[in-house]
């Protein structure tokens, strides 16, 4: 069993770092670069993550955090893969993607045990406003590859639900997740 400490959507909140030693630290986006540095320095385990729609493309520079956007990695026998950003809703040049871009990226990513994302699967949770409607490509990936876990942020709520046999966990600020 892996203990995963996940962070998402800080948005300038006073970050209280949990006093634990997880097996893996996961960043799910929208975490200010100062908090990224604090998280990086606080934990000596592997650190992986994806960017959110409010992050800069350099937020993981000069850290030990591995960007999993359209990539995968194996840690202690568990495969992790990811896709950062949100579905396009504005003209912002970084951190937003068209549905087709997500579909193409996921075609190159085969099955993982744990999928990390900033945005969630489409039509699975409210609200459905333009900024938070999620990706249909994620729901298709889950249906096809059946990852055991799907962790995401972006919705500003702590919530768990299932889609098929996949446990989906929406993280808001921080959460400890046990991966078996």
Of 159, 120, 158, nearest to 142 by C-alpha is: 120
Tell me if 163 sits within 8 A of 124, measured CB to CB: yes
Bridge partners (DSSP) of residue 25 are 5, 47
Domain region containing 66 = 2-13+20-179
Q: Are strands 86-87 and 96-97 parallel, antiparallel or unpaired?
A: parallel
Grouped pLDDT means (10 residues each) for the chain, 180 residues: 95 84 97 93 98 93 97 97 93 90 94 97 65 84 97 92 95 95
For residue 163, list its beta bridge partners. Answer: 166
Distance CA 6, CA 140 (A): 24
pLDDT of residue 3: 97
Provide the domain count of the chain.
1
> What beta strand segments (E) does the chain contain?
2-8, 24-27, 47-49, 65-67, 72-75, 78-83, 86-87, 96-97, 114-117, 149-152, 159-163, 166-170, 173-179
Residue with tokens 């929208």: 30
Q: Please, are residues 134 and 153 in contact by the beta-carbon 8 Å criterion? A: no
pLDDT of residue 132: 72
What is the pTM (predicted TM-score) of this model?
Answer: 0.93
Residue-level pLDDT at 172: 95
Query: How far is it, in rounded angstroms, from Cα 88 to Cα 16?
Result: 31
CA 135/CA 84 separation, integer angstroms: 11
**CATH number, domain at 95?**
3.60.21.10
């Amino acid at each position: 069993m892996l203990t995963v400490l996940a962070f998402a959507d800080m948005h300038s909140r006073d970050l209280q770092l949990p006093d634990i030693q997880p097996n893996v630290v996961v960043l799910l986006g929208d975490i200010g670069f100062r908090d990224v540095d604090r998280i990086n320095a606080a934990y000596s385990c592997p650190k992986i993550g994806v960017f959110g729609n409010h992050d800069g493309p350099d937020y993981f520079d000069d850290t030990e955090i591995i960007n999993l956007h359209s990539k995968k990695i194996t840690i202690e026998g568990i495969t992790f893969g990811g896709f950062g950003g949100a579905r396009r809703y504005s003209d912002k040049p970084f951190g937003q993607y068209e549905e087709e871009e997500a579909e193409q990226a996921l075609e190159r990513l085969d099955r993982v045990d744990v999928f990390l994302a900033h945005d969630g699967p489409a039509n699975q949770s409210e609200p459905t406003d333009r900024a938070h409607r999620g990706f249909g490509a994620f729901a298709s990936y889950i249906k096809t590859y059946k990852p055991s876990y799907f962790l995401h942020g972006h919705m500003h709520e702590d919530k768990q639900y299932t889609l098929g046999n996949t446990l989906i966990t929406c993280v808001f600020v921080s959460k400890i997740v046990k991966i078996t």
